[in-house]
Homo-oligomer: A and B are copies of this chain.
């Protein structure tokens, strides 16, 4: 392991250069215009795995390809499945980036680019730690499957089928994913819970075209005004979501877990300052960490209608559209929630507008028990690399693959985040601390060793 650690230290700069190459590929999976770039990113991952000494195949899907690397020669040792995604979120709003999203730039020890943290930078720590073990020792301490997909940001539509079709081949003991965050700077964390998600797009159509608001205003429904009213009605005055059946299956937090969350170091003033908001805001009766990790939400992610140019324009718009997502907590059924959302809009929508309701991917929340030997292995590995004890936390985001891995391959996932949740994931100026990148790579290298020991104890 010392030899591996030295190899990582010696090659640190070249790893950053390779990561920059990866980040230069605009692999925006949501945009059909970037289809070719998404494939280039898959090929880049393939070449990295081949360079590390793994067997690799690029598996075609109906969407973007899945890269599958493996090394299975550690007889008797556990098998680990490492998952990541090489696709990224759209870079909009472009004009808010200080340096262009696909021209990786280092400022103040941080690497700025779309995907720097989510997830190219984080998955790269595992590719490089595997490469280090192979180059230093000619083998790995554990058997490894590496599965890197290109559709995570658009719902991982092809992944389940891949997992199902390769269920036997991918048999493993535990999964590892680095697509979450530390709890704060130098506060590495193991995430034992994720929220689920449902997504939809609501369009209200009024007149066939934009009408003069003087000639017609007052006599026809304005789709923006109506949509605003329906969205406004999604929450009551206490910040609770009014969607029918929304809280039916939500289980209150156990007292012990509530206490553990309350004890986490959390500076609300600093939270407010770091985001630039004027105050916190959310469901009455819950703390900020409960609100973002343990309570369901309903957020509009985008809204559009009518005139957007300079100055006023006096029209009744012909339509208005909103993109809406709900974050879910354990026991909430995505199907039931999306049905409730549809019902909300159908019930409140007046007959003077036409309602269109389109749904996107969804997945349930996932929480697992933090007491397995693999969890202890992760804890030891992180402590070795970061020199501090990792915290146990939950996360407000959704990683649908965690549910798929549990359901299809029957394994728990170690969610080991090396980045910070202030790294502007999904926003402009996304970045990754190079110190976190290096420590994450070292922790990953320790992890293969510790998982091997955990496997030995398990026997």
Binding site for B on A (CB under 8 A): 30-32, 89-90, 92-93, 96, 154-155, 181, 195, 197, 199, 201, 206-222, 224-225, 227-235, 271, 275-283, 288-289, 291-292, 295-318, 320, 322-323, 325, 327, 350-354, 360-361, 395-398, 421, 424-429
Q: Which residues of B contact A282 (CB under 8 A)?
A: 218-220
Given A219-B291, A317-B302, A320-B303: A227 in contact with B228 (beta carbons within 8 A): yes
Which 6 A-B pairs have CB atoms at the shortest separation, nearest pair first?
Answer: A214-B397, A232-B232, A208-B276, A281-B352, A302-B306, A228-B231
Contact assessment for B320 and A307 in the assembled complex, using a CB-CB cutoff below 8 Å: no
Given A213-B325, A215-B396, A281-B221: A307 in contact with B92 (beta carbons within 8 A): yes
Contact assessment for A310 and B31 in the assembled complex, using a CB-CB cutoff below 8 Å: yes
CB of A444, distance to nearest CB on chain B (Å): 22
Contact assessment for A299 and B217 in the assembled complex, using a CB-CB cutoff below 8 Å: yes
Q: Which residues of B contact A231 (CB under 8 A)?
A: 224-225, 228-229, 232
Q: Which residues of B contact A323 (CB under 8 A)?
A: 306-307, 312-313
Q: What number of copies of this chain does the assembly contain?
A: 2
Given A207-B277, A301-B314, A427-B211: A232 in contact with B228 (beta carbons within 8 A): yes
- The docked-state distance in angstroms from the alpha carbon of A90 to that of B228 is 25
Q: Which residues of B contact A292 (CB under 8 A)?
A: 215-219
Q: Which residues of B contact A220 (CB under 8 A)?
A: 275, 277, 280-282
Contact assessment for B314 and A225 in the assembled complex, using a CB-CB cutoff below 8 Å: no
CB of A342, distance to nearest CB on chain B (Å): 16
**Who on chain B is nearest to A352 by CB?**
B281
**Who on chain B is nearest to A213 by CB?**
B299
CB of A201, distance to nearest CB on chain B (Å): 8
- The docked-state distance in angstroms from the alpha carbon of A218 to that of B323 is 17
Q: Contact partner of A300 among B219, B224, B276, CB < 8 A?
A: B224
Q: Which residues of B contact A429 (CB under 8 A)?
A: 209
- The docked-state distance in angstroms from the alpha carbon of A308 to that of B235 is 23
